[in-house]
Amino acid sequence: MDSTTRNILVIIVVLMVVGYLLLHFLLKRLGKDPRNILPHNIASRLKVPLISLFIAIAIQAGLINREIITDEYYVNLFQHARTLILIFSFTWFIVLGIRIGKNQFLKQFDVTINNNLRARKFYTQFNIIERIAIFIVVLFAVGIALLTFDEIKEVGVSILTSAGIVGIVLGISAQKVFGTIFAGIQIAIAQPIRIDDVVIVEGEWGRIEEIKLTYVVVKIWDQRRMVLPTTYFIETPFQNWTRNSSDILGTVYIYTDYGLPVDELREEFTRLLNSTNLWDKKVNVIQVTDLTEKTMELRALMSAHNASIAWDLRVYIREHLLKFIQQNYPESLPRSRVEIKDIKDRAAEEGTAGALQK
């Protein structure tokens, strides 16, 4: 390599480094500006594809000047490497563009408010659509990259001759995989569940934390995570407490003796509801729902903005109603009655009964 070629190579490397540093600095400044749509960490997220892009440009610059790379074998090798690097970098740019577009669109929806049904609907749809789009983009990129290898092209031609049989075999073997993917697409369209929905699955109470293309993560109330395939929510019955609204009714069952004055308990129940901000001031009912030979069953019905608040409200009402009965009507707590008579009284009763028979 003569001095002229060496100088050209140094100039190319310096230009690439300076160009990358300038672009990285510009992206960093743009990320800090809240007025544009770019995320604040855009510079770090684009670091790998930008470096790859500049490497591909440097390789192309070296290929243009045949004095740098003269051997035909290495020319073909670097051309192939340049093509693969460009596919990789542009795929990364497209995937990042999809994610930025989704995040910008979802910024107008707030899932933290009480009435967040519409927001959760869009979050669920666009999260699944994002994963489907990324899956398709990556799949196409891998396919295009593989087609750059001549050996794979030849294999592909031979496979096409028996595509029907191979398709049937793959379809049968991958039936569950494709079924899970189609179930994810069906959830995005029909939306039997949404992000942050309150559900009862496998006997556990939890919230939908993540909806992926092939599985769903449910956050259980005790911080455990239950991971279920997307087909579960298509094929298995489950409870969705926030399907149409986050509002929910809470119930508390109380079992007392027949002597408890129900009207006084209703007044205390109303007072307790008015004393807490957990109640949404919509439903306030106490009813006698059942009678047994020993107790009567009372159902306290109340409403709250969402399931979490309803749980806290039920606990609050249950504790304070029990305290009210203990302090004011302790004799009305559930009890068993046993009547014990004196032996003399029993004999007298038996004698009286005998005299009457005579």
234: left (phi over 0), alpha (psi -120 to 50) or beta: alpha
* Same-fold call for 124-245 versus 248-332: no
Q: Is the pTM of this model over 0.75?
A: no
DSSP 331: G
Give yes or no for a contact between 124 and 188, defined as CB atoms under 8 angstroms apart. yes
Say if residue 250 is exposed, middle or buried (CB neighbours under 10 Å; 0-12, 13-18, 19+): buried
Residue by residue, pLDDT tens for the chain (358 residues) are: 556 656 666 676 777 777 777 877 777 776 666 666 666 677 777 788 888 887 887 777 766 665 566 667 777 787 888 888 889 989 988 998 888 888 888 888 877 776 677 787 888 888 888 888 888 888 888 888 887 877 666 554 454 454 455 555 555 555 666 777 788 888 888 888 888 888 999 989 899 988 888 889 999 988 899 999 988 998 899 999 888 777 788 899 999 998 899 999 999 999 999 999 999 889 999 999 999 888 899 999 999 888 888 889 999 999 999 999 999 998 888 877 666 666 555 555 566 555 545 5
Locate 259 and state its tokens.
């002597």
Digit-coded pLDDT (tens) for 118-130:
787 888 888 888 8
Digit-coded pLDDT (tens) for 78-96:
788 888 888 998 998 899 8
Half-sphere exposure of 72 (CA within 13 A, CB side): 0
Digit-coded pLDDT (tens) for 314-340:
999 999 999 999 999 988 888 776 666
Locate 278 and state its tokens.
């957990």
Locate 297 and state its tokens.
């069953």
CATH of region 124-245, choose from 3.40.50.300, 2.30.30.60, 1.10.10.10, 1.20.1260.10? 2.30.30.60
Q: How far apart are CA 124 and CA 190, in angstroms?
A: 11
Locate 256 and state its tokens.
């007392």
Alpha helices in 245-298 (DSSP H): 262-274
CATH of region 248-332, choose from 1.10.10.10, 3.20.20.80, 1.10.340.30, 3.30.70.100? 3.30.70.100
Strand 296-304 to 225-229 pairing: unpaired
- Residue from 61, 128, 55 nearest 88 by CA: 55
Helix axes 262-274 and 307-328, enclosed angle (nearest 10): 130
Q: Which residues pair with 298 in a beta bridge?
A: 254, 288
Locate 28 and state its tokens.
């960093």
Q: List the chain domain ranges.
A: 1-108, 124-245, 248-332
